[in-house]
């Protein structure tokens, strides 16, 4: 017979084992704030302005990445403070040196960066694309005029002058000797002007008078045939020269970038891509400075993250810029952590929860949906 007291102690042992098992099972799932952080620790979040992922509105940070992080933090019942950085390398540095617990902006996950950092699950699909000034029809009137007076066309101007002056002298000389010659003035200066007018009209196949002297007529016939050929040749050359130069001015994909001046942000994946291919690149801390360089004609193209460029092209840059060619290198954005961060698994868990419960989609629609 077992006594009630003995049975009670066995039950207590069972209850204790059950409690330990429960803690082992659910304790690990508790938010990072509970098991990893000291009481009420504020997470330090490194970020940088990069619209529409991070931007400032009334001195407050907002944007897709800020809203997403706020939702993750809420899910994990964590509080956080943001610290802004001028460039992605500076942001990464603050995470590496422990000045920040994590970083979120439009940070691409790369093989090189993952040597030094841990990244969350992908939070956004991006990739590199090219943006140029929007010049419908291949160029403005000014651009076309500039092309017309370029080195390819200038020799024709000299040739035209020669084609006017040479026959003008023959005609002036022969017509002055004929009693009913078509040149009124026999002195050189007014006379040669009259002859030049005739030669220019003949060159444009528009002459209204014909020489009277036999020599003059022979010259005129010769010159009329020469003019037809000259006009045909001139038209063909100008057309092909304009077409070639306009085609050369066109950027349609990354293969057209060598020899062009490209703008992007300091230390970005785009800057690295361009430098590795020896493409001339100017790096600016702020993406807006790259847009400005493009609009002012200081750069021929901006190479940067497609969603950032698309947002600009649809808002402030509407009608001024256009994206050309496909996304030529796919990239994903992630939240960056120092290696072995205790927060990463919990953040991944919260990110997946938000993707499943529609929270992520709501934030996405707020910034990227075309619907009003
Ligand atoms: N996705 C780019 C990168 O991670 C963004 C660069 C930037 O924000 O300037 O390099």
Q: pLDDT tens across 103-158, in order?
A: 999 999 999 999 999 999 999 999 999 999 997 655 556 666 666 666 556 777 78
Ligand 1 centroid vs 75 CA: distance in angstroms?
Answer: 27
Sign of CA dihedral 223, 224, 230, 231: positive
pLDDT exceeds 80 at position 31:
no
For the CA of 266, the closest atom of ligand 1 is 9
Residue 270 CA: which ligand 1 atom is closest?
A: 10
Looking at residue 105, what is its pLDDT?
98
Could you tell me the pTM of the whole model?
Answer: 0.65
Average pLDDT, the chain: 85
Question: Once rounded to an integer, what is the mean pLDDT over residues 282-300?
Answer: 97
**Which residue among 88, 124, 302, 311 is best mutated to probe the pocket of ligand 1, counting the most ligand atoms within 8 A of its Cβ?**
88
Quote the ligand 1 centre to 268 CA distance (angstroms): 4
Residues with a CB atom less than 6 Å from ligand 1:
48, 50, 88, 105-108, 265, 268-269, 305
Q: Is CATH 3.40.50.10490 what the domain over 39-123+334-368 is classified as, yes or no?
A: no
Q: How high is the pLDDT of residue 20?
A: 45
Rounded Cα distance between 336 and 113, Å, is: 9
Least confident range from 92-106, 129-143, 259-273: namely: 129-143
Residue with the nearest Cα to atom 6 of ligand 1? Answer: 268
For 319-348, b where at least 16 C-beta lie within 10 A, e where not — what string?
A: eebebbbebbbebbbbbbbbeebebbebbb
Cα of 61 to ligand 1 centre, how many Å?
Answer: 18
Residue 157 to residue 192: CA distance in whole angstroms: 20
Instruction: Give the homologous superfamily in CATH for domain 127-331.
Output: Periplasmic binding protein-like II (3.40.190.10)
């Amino acid at each position: 017979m077992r006594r009630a007291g003995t049975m009670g102690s066995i039950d207590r042992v069972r209850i204790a084992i059950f409690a330990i098992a429960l803690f082992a099972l659910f304790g690990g799932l508790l938010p990072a704030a509970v098991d990893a952080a000291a009481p009420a620790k504020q997470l330090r979040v490194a970020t940088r302005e990069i619209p529409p992922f991070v931007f400032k509105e009334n001195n407050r940070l907002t944007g897709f990445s800020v809203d997403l992080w706020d939702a993750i933090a809420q899910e994990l019942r964590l509080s956080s403070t943001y610290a802004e950085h001028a460039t992605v390398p500076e942001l990464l540095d603050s995470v590496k040196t422990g000045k920040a617990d994590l970083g979120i902006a439009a940070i691409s996950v790369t093989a090189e960066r993952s040597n030094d950092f841990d990244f969350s699950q992908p939070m956004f699909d991006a990739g590199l694309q090219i943006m140029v000034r929007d010049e419908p029809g291949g160029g403005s009137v000014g651009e076309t005029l500039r092309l017309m007076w370029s080195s390819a066309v200038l020799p024709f101007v000299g040739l035209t002058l020669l084609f006017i002056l040479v026959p003008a002298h023959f005609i002036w000389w022969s017509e002055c000797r004929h009693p009913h010659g078509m040149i009124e003035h026999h002195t050189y200066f007014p006379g040669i002007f009259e002859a030049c007018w005739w030669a220019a009209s003949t060159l444009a196949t528009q002459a209204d008078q014909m020489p009277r002297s036999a020599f003059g007529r022979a010259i005129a016939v010769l010159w009329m045939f020469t003019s037809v050929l000259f006009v045909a040749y001139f038209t063909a050359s100008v057309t092909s020269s304009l077409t070639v130069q306009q085609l050369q001015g066109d950027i349609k994909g990354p293969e057209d970038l060598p020899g062009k001046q490209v703008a992007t942000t300091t230390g970005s994946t785009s800057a690295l891509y361009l430098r590795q291919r020896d493409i001339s690149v100017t790096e600016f801390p702020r993406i807006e400075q790259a847009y400005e360089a493009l609009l002012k004609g200081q750069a021929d193209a901006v190479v940067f993250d497609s969603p950032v460029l698309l947002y600009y092209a649809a808002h402030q840059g509407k009608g001024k810029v256009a994206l050309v060619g496909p996304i030529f290198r796919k990239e994903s954005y992630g939240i960056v952590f120092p290696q072995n961060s205790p927060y990463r698994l919990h953040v991944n868990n919260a990110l997946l929860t938000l993707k499943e419960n529609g929270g992520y989609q709501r934030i996405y629609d707020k910034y990227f949906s075309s619907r009003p």
